[in-house]
Amino acid sequence: MIKISPKQQQILLIFLKNKALSSSETHKLIIESGENLSLVTVKRELAKMASFELLIASGKGRGSAYKISPLGRIFSNVDAGSYCSEEPDRRYGLDRFNFELFPAMPLAIFAKDELTLLEKATDEYRRRTSDLPPAIKKKELERLIIELSWKSSKIEGNTYTLLDTEKLILENKEAPGHSKNEAVMILNHKNAFTFVHENSNKFRELTHTNLEELHKILVKDLSVGTGLRQKPVGVVGSKYQPLDNIYQIKEAVDLLAATIARMETPYAKALAALCGLGYIQPFEDGNKRTARLMTNALLIAHGASPLSYRSVDEKEYREAMLVFYELNSIIPIKKIFIDQYEFAAKHYAVK
């Protein structure tokens, strides 16, 4: 991963809000922000960032200008809460799918220190899950399934409590005062996780087949069509409008699958699936649920710890995803992924 200085991050955030700027225009905006940088320093930083492919340079001499690249968007350190506090139509983000995004995604999504942290968590997870007695394996699997099914459903607006979810999954008893669909959503999560856990060899990479198979389990009996969608969908609270025809949706899934295939670590593959599937919205409903389960499928297939998302703040999670949709910045959702992976590796023993 490219090492980006605080000064360069400040410049990236300026370019996120502007289509193209000359060095003097960039300098003026930096001065207006309260930072005292010379024009010579700004020119030097812009040239350096262009050499790192964080910016794209065009023109020569007085006509030269810069704009942010897809890679620059990916690594822009955006404050998700601040960005999402604006009304959707007042935000400066993109409102259409960026076909340049997935090909630009680098192999090294994680910095060296982040990767070290993830590998250390995985080593701990593997030590704790080696040679577990069958009774403990069963209990640990049940615990993860309950907490994942509860939290992933809660992110989607499901009102079951954790205790209600436990009773539903272990005793098949629905909670009074809740709709049938809420119980179905939770049980579908259970079945989907069981499927990927028992068929991990199918999920070394993302394919159209395993993606649609997983989605089918998650939306069973919820009156949701299966297969890639053929109609437009919207994203609540976002100016972003996903692709609206099946041919482009298929192309986008292919681009994401190719991106995941070239990633070298299970963490990069899982993170790309988590944000990429949400971004594409390939199905008429159940996209984020499918993304979270595909993330776990990829992790399990590569011997890493699955996530429960138990300790995630739903608002922060939604905001991080919106920042990826509208600005293509992976930084907020990456922070959440790392936190949730550390938590899961320490708290579960699902092998």
CA dihedral sign of residues 174, 178, 184, 188: negative
Buried b (16+ CB within 10 A) or exposed e, 210-248: bbbbbbbbbbbeeeeebebbeeeeebeebbbbbbeeeee
Q: Is residue 91 part of a domain?
A: no
End residue of a domain, out of 51, 68, 85: 68
Question: How much is the pLDDT for 86?
Answer: 96
Question: How much is the pLDDT for 36?
Answer: 86
Q: Are residues 177 and 301 in the same domain?
A: yes
Strand 65-68 to 55-58 pairing: antiparallel
Q: Are residues 174 and 298 in the same domain?
A: yes
Q: Are residues 36 and 160 in the same domain?
A: no
Question: How much is the pLDDT for 238?
Answer: 96
DSSP assignment letter at 57: E
Question: Letter for the amino acid at 151?
Answer: K
Q: Are residues 177 and 257 in the same domain?
A: yes
Q: Is residue 93 part of a domain?
A: no
Is residue 346 within 8 A of residue 122, CB to CB? The reply is no
Q: Are residues 111 and 64 in the same domain?
A: no
Question: How much is the pLDDT for 150?
Answer: 98
Q: Is residue 88 part of a domain?
A: no
CATH number for the domain harbouring residue 48:
1.10.10.10
The pLDDT tens digits for 193-214 are 999 999 999 999 999 999 999 9
- Could you list the residue range(s) of the whole structural domain that residue 48 is in? 6-68
Total domain count, the chain: 2
Q: Is residue 86 part of a domain?
A: no
This prediction's pTM: 0.95
Question: How much is the pLDDT for 35?
Answer: 85
Q: Are residues 208 and 266 in the same domain?
A: yes
Question: How much is the pLDDT for 2?
Answer: 80
CATH number for the domain harbouring residue 189:
1.10.3290.10
Question: How much is the pLDDT for 87?
Answer: 96
Q: Which residues of the chain have pLDDT under 70?
A: none
Question: How much is the pLDDT for 164?
Answer: 98
Q: Are residues 155 and 53 in the same domain?
A: no
User: Considering only CA atoms, which of 146, 145, 125 is closest in space to residue 266?
Assistant: 125
DSSP 188-255: HHHHHHHHHHHTGGGGSS--HHHHHHHHHHHTTTTT---SS--S----TT-S-----SHHHHHHHHHH
Q: Are residues 116 and 160 in the same domain?
A: yes
Q: Are residues 179 and 63 in the same domain?
A: no
